[in-house]
Structures are given as C-alpha cells and as structure tokens.
Structure 1
C-alpha cells in the first residue's frame, strides 16, 4: 500500500462574479475542492484527481493547473471532442447561487473505461467521492464506479464519501436514495451535511442521520451542519463539536474544505474530535475568501493553529 490519495468526480470551469460585468475564471467542483485542501494539508502524499477530460484548450488549461499544484490525473481518459462543464456563481451577501452548463461534460464519462478507472484507484491509502460523482453518471457507469471502489477497498484502501445530495442532478428521490445506499456499503468514513440529509431522507435531527448511517454499517461519520455543531460518530461513540464563529464573505466550498481538512487530519493520525476542530477552523478560513479554492498558506495556517 502506498500513501496515494485519489478524489473522483467533476472539476468544472468556475466563473465568479466580481461585479455585473467582470468575471474571474477558475476551476472547482465538490470533490476537487476537497482534494485541493488535502493537497495543502497532506504533505508527503501523492494526490490525483480521477475524472475524464476533454481535448479542448480549457481542458488542457485545467490539467496544467492541476500539474502546477502537484495534482495528477492518474489514468483518467482524455476524450476527443469533449470539454469541461461550466458554472457561474452569483453572491447575495455571503450566500451564493449557481447556474450550470454541464449536460455534456467530459466528467460524465469518467467510468467509460473500467480498466483505466481501476488502475487510477490502485495502491491508494484513501479514495474520496461524493453523491455528485454518482449523480452525473448513467446507471451502468455508476455500477462500474462502485465496483472499482469496492475493489480498491478490498485491497486495503479507506473510502470516504460525502452524499452531497443535489436534487436537480437526480431524476427522482428514489434513484438518489438507492445509489447513495449502494455507496454507503463501500464507505468507511461518511461526511454528510445535515440539511442535505433532511431534504433527501426527512431526518429530524443530526442524531437521526447518525443512527441511519450507523445502521448502514458506516464506522466513522461526521455530520456537518453549517454554523452549528458538527456531530461525530466513531464506532458508535458520538460527540458534538462546536463550529467556529466567523463573518463569512463567500460560503462556496466551505463543506468541501471541511472534508479535506478532516480527512487530512485523520491521515496524520489525529483523533476524530480534534480532526473536526481543525476542519471547522479551515472551513471558517475558507468562507472569508472569495471562490471555492483558498490559497494553500491560508488553509495550512488555519489547520495548524
């Protein structure tokens, strides 16, 4: 077993509005945002973003951006004629709204080559994916992905999963519940957000979310809840950890960065409660920066404080 980390999903072109006529272009996406934090906070680990890419100039720029920050793409396919998805952020105060153009994004083909996907997940200490990763795939591709993840787990890899439910990406609630249920069967660390779980399952409280995921067989669970306490269950030992109080500028990527900081801390051998404290600090730093990706030095300063 090596010390490699892989995140699986879609990295999009991000347009963030600075004014009515000026936009800043970057790259972001839920699992990539988490991997970005792990790249900053997990020195000594090789990290790869596992997806599918186009052969257009924006895809080339995206891969070059990854390379510039020591993030590889493993054996991810480059698909002729494909291109990245795109989204734009509009802010009202610190809260954000999104508009997406992603129907034919290359990442939807990330499981099109089962052998390449399996190779990308070989010899990993940790693999991370999300409900959005599942939602952008057709059912057969979803099954291919989960089989590759199950194989990696059987070879000693730890699997982390954020259900990250987004209703607009799923045809219906039943399909989302079924797919997420299958993902939980191969999950060691679950990192749900309570409002998402409330929307998808009708959970009355984070405690109900914990109980449901424990019943599904997940050994380590952290339920995020925005500015409220996070609730941890580690082998059914449940602890509440208060969030930090900050004045947010832009909440984009806060939960993703929380996940990256938590997983980085756990890879360092830090206990779950202390790992959540670090994750809260990192999320608190991220919401004071515009865009999904905070500079590495800001992430490290918050993590090590």
Structure 2
C-alpha cells in the first residue's frame, strides 16, 4: 500500500520553557559554514491548525489586500506573514512580485512567532526560491515548525522519512516516519493517520501490528482535518482481506462503492462472492454514509459508469 503526500482558528502555543526555546533559536552556524537561521523572539503561534492553507486564504480574503498591508505596517505578526506571501506575486494581481521583500517579510514573521512561516521558509530553501538552495536550513525550519506543532510540517516529515518526498533532505527511516505521522495524527490529520495505518501494515510482524493498523485506519474518519474520502480505500482493502478484523464483504463493498467509479473492478470482484441481500445492504450503508457526509457519488443516483466515460 502507498503512503501519500498532500501538497495541494488561531492556536496559541505557550511554552513555560520559552527562555530555553529562545536560547535554542539564537543565530547559530551549522558545521563549518556560515549558515545562519532566524531567531524567534516572541511566543510561537500556530494560525493554520488544519495544515491546508485555508487560514491564510481566508485571512487575505476577509481583510482585503489593503488592510493586510496596513495591519502589517502596524506590526501584526500574521499580517506580516500574509504580506510576504502576497509579495511572491501568485495570489493577487494587486501585488507585484518582489522576492527579496517577500522573503524579508516571511523571515520577520517567523521572528515574531508565526510558526506557519517555518513551513514557508522550508519551501523557499528547499526549492531555492529567491535564495540559494540549502537543505540544512530547509530542514531546520521544517523540523522547528513541526516541533512547535505545525501539522503540515509534521505530515511532510512523515512523508520525507518514508522516502517519498524531500529527496536529499533526510535519510529514509520508518521509525522517524512513524513518529511524525503519529504527531500529525494526534493533531487531527486524516492523511497522516491513514499513512500511519499503512506503516503498521507494511511492517506488521504479528497480529498485534495488523490489529493496530486496522484500529488506526478506522480512526481516520474521526479526525477533523482533511478530505472525508481519505482512508476509505484502506478500510475497503482491510475489510476485504480481513486485516486486523474479520473479513466483511458488506463493509468492503460499502467503501468500494463510495470510491466509485474507479472502484468498479473491485465491486465486480466482490459481487461474485456476495448474495443479492448483501449487495443491497452494502449499497444502503454507502448511501447512508453519503447522506451523513453530504458527499454523493454517481452510484447514489443509480448511475453506472459506461465504456464511453458517461454515467447512465
């Protein structure tokens, strides 16, 4: 099974050990190079707790570009960050591209305690946008923001340690991947929870690991952040194969039905093992799930995928 990446409410984190944190974040050098990172001089604050960048877009939309710039001028930390992102020139036609000023704002917002800015700085140094590529600095900002609890950074580290992203950033390490996926799952991330279940399944040494994998997969739906469809394929597979649970073709068919039309071959395979009553019950459960989540797939309306790509 494959671990996936997801690159496509304010929460203030107060630390009783803030003086120690600030000491750690003093300007240091890595190895023999004059590579410096930015000192965070204020209490760390996470604004986008969901890790999907919605907070930033909602903030800019609700305030308006002019107000964002005014608030930044007045010293609002998150407005400084938003202004910096706007200056990259790919969000609003009202703001011209100015890389040097954009990076300066993002760095300033990190200094002012905006943890979200750490992920942006990681991207800049990893991709070399407006700065020289520097994997050490990129990893520093990624790990620092992750340690502060930034979900998106935690998720990315899990994927990076799985060897599926950030090539050259870290060495593949299943235990470190598991650690970061667990951190992100605890913070409510559906995708990281699914990936954690897959790690347990791939590394299953006995039935306890398989049971754990199933329990984690089952918990994806209760996590608040991410697409509601995440993890349905994992549950379908586990129920069909009896991984960590008894084989349950009705539940497996239900989840495959929710993944229509791409799951048509899976449904056809299961139908050969099911009675008409079981199929009807699975469809009933699928429709119930769709109504509860206000998400509807073609099968809900009795439509079936045709060879010409249409539904009838």
Instruction: Decide which structure has greater strand share.
Output: 1
Question: Structure 1-normalised TM-score?
Answer: 0.31
Which is higher, the Rg of structure 1 or of structure 2? 2
Q: Which has the higher contact order (CA 8 A, sep 6+)?
A: 1
Instruction: Decide which structure has greater helix share.
Output: 2
Question: Structure 2-normalised TM-score?
Answer: 0.30
